[in-house]
Structure 1
């Protein structure tokens, strides 16, 4: 297991001080902890207990602090430190590619720059006030894969079909693929990947490019066993419901919204 956290500080100096202090406080929690050096990353502050199969490391890179915690099956210092080294080898270049938003410009960031959420049918009235980030949110492809646990089949599907953004609204999920053909492939892949527990069901009458599936043996815990996958041009939206007629109506409404969106 590897857990990576990145923190942003006001300055490089603040980040450097924080990295050192974070490691010192964590290491002081047990007097068996000993310092460890990470090859190719001499500025990383790291420690472990020789009898415990885990290691922690904290590094400063510019205004950022990278905190890594790794566990393995056996207390092998070389293997644990090698894992941390590999993470830093990947994480540092990603930070170099990133341009931090100035703190005074945070409120100017646009949550949905391409208006993807407006293309997703609402299943119930939106609450008044600040939107729930778990209920209405747009991710980049990489952000969504991190959220979903980066399952290999999802990652492969995104790469194959060129998904570059995902919008989630009230349980429905929209994916924007590379082009029309890629969207067709995306739908076919979803259906094929879920037929082990599902069977194809009846799509809404008169609505093109919709495929529906339902759980073959739903349990009481399966609150929404009916799903329809709606495709329009490069967009694919998955809607779900507890009732077949309801999911068919949602799918029809979703197709109409996509077809009439600019």
Structure 2
């Protein structure tokens, strides 16, 4: 069974902020043209009558994406470009085999209580453009080992980045009611890094300005904290060497990324690879799925899945090159057989029980979730069409049925 909890079948906010769970820093979708590659539609044409599908008020034909907030959308696109090159947590420390974060791109802080104080984020980060956060841990069990959250923020100038690193470090951790022992620590490898260490809670935060970027890392040694508090074991020293490695690996990747000039952001294409036009568009105000619109390439999509190593193998096997995010997710594989292979592997779960597909769409696979994840969407539907695999989820069964039917119709009408 593969774990798609980060990208598929969960209900979440679009924002991942510095004040969220064990990890992220702040807040907060990619494919090629539909005309590329060969398609095999014979089976679909024989079995599905589009006129009999209940698609509700959802779109049923491909359409070029639009936005009512171009400035925000293009900043998100810039953040997604960044996510396509950033290292996974496992590429910094191979023991961090599990991804720990959900939606990864952000353009503003959220309001959740969490580890860091972001009450003054807007004033602390003058010139902030966009960012991308990724997080990993060694086990599904959140109490084992430690969590590393690695985030890069893009600014409009080197001066803005340097100023933000200092200001964010000054804001520091959010008060949490414990007798926190917080103080600065110094990296001999990266003296420009602003690092603070919460000895009581075994948390290290580091902000490192480099060019127009700030590399922010948060190391939460939850197992050390739990064991130390429970058994009176002396806490470990600040993991500065790991923060240094995070900076080294990340800055090396950033050499391949050219940030878009602020006055050119509005010119970024909304659908650079032509896949969003095939993706079920998100209705106004809709917060289902990832609650943002855009695309990620194969590497970028690995940030969003629970087990990156397993998914990397599946992506390679099925030729996945892009994920597109709208009112669901559309995945492009190399051919129709690979699409079916991907669908069968990616969505299997002992907690998902098959239910009838929507009327008129017998090729869809729909499930109802019964399991321990309180954030899992109750209803999920998936369907393969040609080289594409679509998935949608919802709190309501009929809504999931209408979404998958409309997404299928868009693909069928793209011929």
Kindly tell me: are residues 228 and 71 of structure 1, through their superposed partners in 2, closer, same or farther at Cα, counting changes over 3 Å? closer
CA deviations on 1:222-259 (whole Å, 9 max, x unpaired) are 99745432212221112456447972x65455434313
Q: CA deviation at 1:85?
A: 1.9
Shift of 1:105: 0.6
More helix by share: 1
Deviations 1:13-62 (A, max 9, x none): 443344345435649x9996444333533332323254541222221111
Unaligned regions of 5+ residues in structure 2, if any? 1-146, 226-234
CA shift, 1:260, in A, is 2.8
| Alpha-carbon distance in structure 1 between the residues aligned to 2:384 and 2:171 | 52
Structure 1 SS opposite 2:311: helix
Counterpart among 39, 45, 49 of residue 194 in structure 2: 45
Taking the aligned partners of 1:85 and 1:231, their CA distance within structure 2 comes to 44
Shift of 1:108: 0.7
Corresponding residue of 2:330: 174
RMSD: 4.0
For each residue in 1:89-140, what CA deviation from the matched residue of structure 2 results, as whole angstroms up to 9, or x when unmatched?
22112221111001111111122223323323468xx449xx9995461220
Alpha carbons of 1:261 and 1:85: their partners in 2 closer, same or farther (altered >3 Å)? same
- Separation in 2, partners of 1:225, 1:132: 12
Please tell me whether residue 16 in structure 1 is matched to residue 16 in structure 2.
no
More off after superposition, 10-19 vs 197-206: 197-206
User: 2:161 & 2:403 partners in 1: Cα distance?
Assistant: 49
Higher strand share: 1
Alignment partners' CA distance in 2, 1:20 and 1:231: 49
Structure number with greater CO (CA < 8 Å, separation at least 6) is 2
Residue 262 of structure 2 is matched in structure 1 by: 103
Indicate whether 1:2 and 2:148 are aligned. yes
CA distance in 1, matches of 2:306, 2:275: 24
TM-score (norm 2): 0.49
The TM-score, its normalising length taken from structure 1, stands at 0.73
- Correspondence for 1:93: 252
Measure the CA separation in 1 of the matches of 2:381 and 2:370. 17
SS at match of 1:8: strand
Partner of 2:389: 236
Deviations 1:170-222 (A, max 9, x none): 3x22112233332121111134x22x1234444468768x2413227599x99
Q: Is the contact made by 1:117 and 1:136 (CA closer than 8 Å) also made in structure 2?
A: no
Contact between 2:332 and 2:387, CA under 8 Å: does it hold in 1? yes
Report the 3-state secondary structure (helix = DSSP H, G, I; strand = E; otherwise coil) of the residue aligned with 2:150.
strand
Relative distance call for 1:178 and 1:39 in structure 2 (3 A) is farther
What does residue range 217-228 of structure 1 map to in structure 2 within 5 Å?
225-228=378-381
Evaluate the alpha carbon distance shift between residue 132 and residue 183 of structure 1 in structure 2; reply closer, same or farther with a 3 A threshold. Answer: closer
Aligned equivalent of 2:236: 76
For 1:127 and 1:234, locate their aligned partners in 2 and report how far apart those are by CA, in whole Å.
28
- Structure 1: gaps spanning 5 or more residues: none
Does the 8 A contact of 1:121 with 1:254 survive in 2? yes
Partner residue in 2 for 1:197: 351
Q: Secondary structure at the match of 2:242?
A: helix
Residues matched between the structures, number:
248
TM-superposed deviation, 1:261: 0.9
Alpha-carbon spacing, 1:246–1:61, altered in 2? closer, same or farther (3 Å): closer
Kindly name which structure, 1 or 2, has the bigger radius of gyration based on alpha carbons: 1
Match in the other structure for 1:257: 410
